[in-house]
Chains A and B, each alone.
Chain A
Amino acid sequence: AQSVAQPEDQVNVAEGNPLTVKCTYSVSGNPYLFWYVQYPNRGLQFLLKYITGDNLVKGSYGFEAEFNKSQTSFHLKKPSALVSDSALYFCAVSSPKLSFGAGTTVTVRA
């Protein structure tokens, strides 16, 4: 059975500091990995995905994620966080069905 875990319910950072949101997965076979962001009372917006190739994937709004097969991780990163990055972030894995993590609430303080 496949699963995805986001080990931190909340992440708090100061504006301008690096932001990391963790995601680990468990699948048989090669995974496709996704990150989505959800702002309050809104739907999910696609940020980026890993299909194959370069382990570092760049996405929207300055976010990037690194696929690490040996650690079965796909952590989301942003070098310099903004207050407007405060939102709920979801990791998802597809192999073959799409499964979502429980989400991580990110708060960026001014």
Chain B
Amino acid sequence: DVKVTQSSRYLVKRTGEKVFLECVQDMDHENMFWYRQDPGLGLRLIYFSYDVKMKEKGDIPEGYSVSREKKERFSLILESASTNQTSMYLCASSLYGSSSSGNTIYFGEGSWLTVV
């Protein structure tokens, strides 16, 4: 089974803090993704990476950055957390190729971030 592990399930951070969300996958997937989930809005793509050190902006990249130094690890960084970044963050991975190739995206358990 594919396993995508998000190291922190629940975090509470202060406004202005730098926040790191870590994600590791164990299936040698080339693609990794960070989504944000908010009620009534579904999932929105923040960033994705199709290879080590490669990244592309998704639909809502403002206020976020990412790092992919190793194939299995993809980090989401909030440089200066704000209250409107309080949300559920989901990491995901898939095999090489865009989602238009029909590859299934597998998700982690999610990280609940509260910014106060």
Residue numbers of A with Cβ under 8 A of B are 9, 32, 34, 36, 41-46, 49, 51, 90, 94-98, 100-103
Contact = CB atoms under 8 A, between A and B. Distances in A.
Given A43-B110, A44-B90, A90 B42 contact: yes
Given A49-B104, A102-B40, A97 B99 contact: yes
Interface string B68-92: 0000000000000000000000101
Given A32-B100, A43-B90, A103-B42, A98 B109 contact: no
Q: Assign chain B's interface to a size class.
A: 20 to 34
Contact of A95 (B6, B90, B100, B112): B100
B102 A51 contact: yes
A19 to B, nearest CB: 20
A36 B108 CA distance: 13
> Which of B45, B100, B106, B112 gathers the greatest number of chain A CB atoms within 10 Å?
B100
A95 B108 CA distance: 23
Given A43-B90, A102-B40, A96 B100 contact: yes
Top 8 nearest A-B pairs by Cβ distance? A96-B100, A43-B107, A94-B99, A98-B99, A100-B42, A51-B102, A44-B107, A100-B43
A49 B94 CA distance: 14
B105 A98 contact: yes
Contact of A102 (B4, B42, B110, B112): B42
A94 B110 contact: no
Contacts of A49: 102, 104
Contacts of A46: 104-106
Interface in B24-62: 40-45
Contacts of A36: 107
Contacts of A44: 43, 90, 92, 107
